[in-house]
Each structure stands twice: as C-alpha cells, then as structure tokens.
Amino acid sequence: MALKNVRLLIVFMFLLFGTANAFAEETATAKQIVEKFQSELIAVMKDGKKLGYAGRYEKLKDPVANSHDLTKIARIVVGKEGEKLSEKQQQKLVDVFSQFSIASYAHNFKDYAGESFVFDSEEETTRGGVVVHSHLVIPGDKPVKFDYMLKEKGNSWRIINIIANGVSDLALKRSEYTTILQREGFDALITKINEKIDNYSKQ
C-alpha cells in the first residue's frame, strides 16, 4: 500500500511540475518573448558563416514562429485588400509571408562581430498591447534602436511589428503590398515575395 502511495505521489508531482512548466512557458511576459528571440538571433549570428543561409533559415524557423504572430502580420500588411481574398489565397499569403519573414532574418543577421541586444524599457499601449524598447549594440558603429510591438495571442505574447530607428516594418510592407494588390493582383504579390526570398537565398 505504501509503495502504491509513493508511486501516486511521484505521478502527481510529475503532473504538477509538468503543468507548472507549461504554464510558465505560456505566460511568458512580452519582455521575455523579445529577449528570448533576441538571444536566439545572436546565437544564429555567431554560427552564421558556418551555417550558411540554408542553415540559418532552418535554425530561425521556430524562434520566429514562436515569437511573431505571422498570421496577424500577414493580414495587417494587406489591409482591407485582404478582405477581397479567398480563404485559400489568405492561407497562401500567410505561408509565403512566413517564409519571407524567416528568410529576411536569415539574410540580414548572417554573421557576428560582437553585437548584443540591450533592453531599455517597456510600456503598455492604450489598446492593451506592450512595446518593448531595446537597442542593438554594434561595435564600432552607431546602435540600432528596436521597438517591438506585441499583442496577446491566447496565453502568450507575440510580436506584430518592429520599428527600427523610427521606421515601421509593418507600415513599409503595408504600403508596398496593398499597392501591388490594387494594381497587379494577388498572384503578382505572391510572385514578388517569392522573388525576394529567392534573392535572399543567393546573397
């Protein structure tokens, strides 16, 4: 009987700690989400040359997916034009845009020269979001200011926009993507995004 009780206690503790760990991961703060992503980015940069573009892309798949709300971003960048897309087209856009986002990081953060991210501050927005202010220290050069805008998704936080030195990535893409959709159509937009992905892989 005593042995059975011990086994039950072990099972209970396993379930308790397993649940606690899962809960801790689900309830990571906006700051923690950003800092985890930044640390994973620096780690890939350190091995960037050895990994090559394809290796960096593979290493960054999960970090980008786990920190960014790629579905929401893809829908925001096409604005009201997205309402005209079929469900199949919307899914295609999310898939291609997700690939492009990972490719952008794999291309732009390709090597390491002593860079480091530094947290500056954190603030809540009027719409229930959070902005994490930080900067990238670049030895021998001016630091780059990064403002990460996050929104809650389920029980976690996800990046929906990044402002680098005052320039909104979301605003730039939205201006470009909606113009292409209006003038050339959905297929042209997908083709152009795929061309950029292809160009990144060759550089």
Report how far residue 90's alpha carbon sits from residue 94's, in angstroms, rounded to the nearest whole number: 6
Per residue, the 3-state secondary structure of 88-117, as one string, reads HHHHHHHHHHHHHHHHHHHHHCCCCCCCEE
Strand partners, 116: 137
Which tens digit of pLDDT belongs to each residue from 178-196?
Answer: 999 999 999 999 999 999 9
Which tens digit of pLDDT belongs to each residue from 106-140?
Answer: 999 999 999 999 999 999 999 899 999 999 999 99
Which tens digit of pLDDT belongs to each residue from 38-54?
Answer: 999 999 999 999 999 99
pLDDT (mean) for 142-169: 96
Half-sphere exposure of 37 (CA within 13 A, CB side): 28
What residue ranges define each of the domains in the chain, with the CATH number in brackets?
28-202 (3.10.450.710)
Half-sphere exposure of 164 (CA within 13 A, CB side): 8
Per-residue model confidence (pLDDT) at position 203: 73
pLDDT (mean) for 8-18: 43
Half-sphere exposure of 145 (CA within 13 A, CB side): 10
3-state helix, strand, coil in the chain (%, to 5): 65, 20, 15
pLDDT (mean) for 6-23: 43
Residue 22 pLDDT exceeds 50: no
The three-state secondary structure class of 47 is coil
Strand order across the 156-164 sheet: 116-124, 130-137, 144-153, 156-164, 167-168
